């Protein structure tokens, strides 16, 4: 959601200025989507002025979120003092990706399931202990907020390591998030129906990455290896 803190007079053309010395922020997918949306909005208005748009990334006070500050300046103004009074700033809060820095999580005393949930944003972690009759509704709300929800694991309660291992064995590198379109043709399946083939190298935005990396360093056993006592 974008809220302007000052009133502005949109105009076209405009320039998007990436944050200085901040390569990660300038390449942030959400920031790119935001700049595209702003370009489409300002492109509808023609006043002959020239706007400069600055997008600065930061950390929100809400855990698991990121915040962007958008500043719009009219470069057509002649005096610096006048230009200083015209910027409009907007704060944009976006959900974090479905992972946290692995280095801050001690997995040595965790099961793979615990490690999987520990790597999820706090908002998604709520699904683990949510009553079963409320999980689907909560998952819908989280999806609308921009989170990627792994339906079998997070809502149906499937074992994370077993589920991801099965997906890997079947050749999946990504699967749809909840409420995204299903995959019409699986990997390695002969396509005789003229349907879109599975592309392992180009996952759609918001899809679920297939990986068992979350289990590395945990104290759990691989579910496909049985321990045989002597």
3-state secondary structure of 17: strand
* Helix 132-144 and helix 122-129, axial crossing angle in degrees, nearest 10: 160
Per-residue pLDDT of the chain (230 residues; tens, 9 = 90+): 444 444 444 444 444 444 444 444 444 555 666 665 665 555 544 444 455 666 666 555 545 555 556 666 655 554 443 333 334 444 444 455 554 444 467 898 899 999 999 999 999 999 999 999 999 999 999 999 999 999 999 999 999 999 999 999 999 999 999 999 999 999 988 877 788 889 999 999 999 999 999 999 998 755 555 444 44
How many CB atoms within 10 Å of residue 118?
17
Q: Is the pTM of this model over 0.85?
A: no
């Amino acid at each position: 959601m974008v809220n302007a803190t000052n009133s502005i007079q949109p105009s076209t053309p405009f320039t998007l200025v990436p944050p200085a010395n901040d390569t990660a922020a300038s390449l942030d997918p959400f920031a790119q989507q935001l700049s595209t949306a702003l370009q489409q909005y300002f492109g509808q208005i023609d006043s002959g002025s020239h706007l400069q748009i600055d997008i600065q990334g930061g950390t929100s006070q809400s855990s698991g979120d990121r915040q962007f500050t958008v500043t719009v300046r009219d470069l057509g103004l002649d005096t610096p003092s006048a230009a200083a009074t015209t910027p409009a700033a907007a704060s944009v809060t976006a959900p974090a990706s479905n992972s946290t820095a692995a280095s801050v999580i001690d997995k040595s005393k965790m099961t793979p399931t615990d490690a999987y949930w520990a790597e999820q944003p706090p908002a998604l972690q709520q699904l683990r202990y949510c009553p079963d009759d409320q999980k689907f509704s909560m998952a819908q709300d989280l999806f609308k907020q921009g989170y990627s929800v792994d339906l079998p694991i997070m809502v149906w309660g499937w074992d994370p390591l077993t589920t991801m291992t099965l997906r890997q064995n079947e050749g999946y590198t990504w699967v749809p998030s909840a409420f995204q379109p299903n995959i019409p043709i699986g990997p390695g399946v002969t396509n005789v129906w003229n349907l879109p083939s599975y592309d392992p190298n180009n996952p759609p935005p918001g899809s679920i990455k297939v990986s068992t990396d979350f289990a590395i360093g945990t104290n759990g056993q691989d579910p496909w290896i049985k321990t045989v006592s002597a």
